[in-house]
Amino acid sequence: MGLGSWRFLMPSLVVFAFHPYFCHAHTAPDYNFVHEATSAPSVSYHDYIVVGGGTAGCLLAATLSENANVLVLERGGSPYVKPGKTNKGNFLLGVLDSSSDSYAQKFVSEDGVYNHRAQVLGGGSVINAGFYSHSESDFAKEQGRL
């Protein structure tokens, strides 16, 4: 590899190595709309109730709330309560955390596969360090999605 190649490769390696330390917001956005369910009124009326505050649930609720009153039910809390848990550098620690306040809840599927599901506002995008898997286009076509 020539010297010219290193001029482009080295900055990329530096950014990749330090990315977990400067990519996370350490201060919470204004979540004045987030409330504990125990403090909610015993009777309230909403046009829509979205169950699950994951990536899709949050986007759906945001879209619906432009013209309607929307309630989002999420069993987890804000990811900003403990920002160290969502730092990409702590990805493995978050998955291995088995405490009751962990953002990743362990479970075993019906076919015996060990996995984690999110219990935090933002869903799996919060606990999977930004990774996502995309199905093959043939699989999606077989399922009738395309």
Please state, as a whole number, how many other Cβ atoms lie within 10 Å of the Cβ of residue 129: 16
60 Cα distance to chain centroid: 15
pLDDT number for residue 1: 54
pLDDT number for residue 13: 54
**Comparing C-alpha atoms, which of 62, 42, 40 is closest to residue 53?**
62
- And the tokens for 43? 């009777």
CB-based contacts of 97, cutoff 8 Å, min separation 6:
85, 103, 104
pLDDT number for residue 15: 52
pLDDT number for residue 121: 86
pLDDT number for residue 60: 93
Range of the domain at 28: 3-142
pLDDT number for residue 22: 47
* Mean pLDDT in order along the chain per 10 residues (146 residues): 58 53 58 80 92 90 94 86 71 74 85 86 79 72 67
CATH code of the domain in which 62 resides: 3.50.50.60
Task: Count structural domains, the chain.
Answer: 1
pLDDT number for residue 132: 63
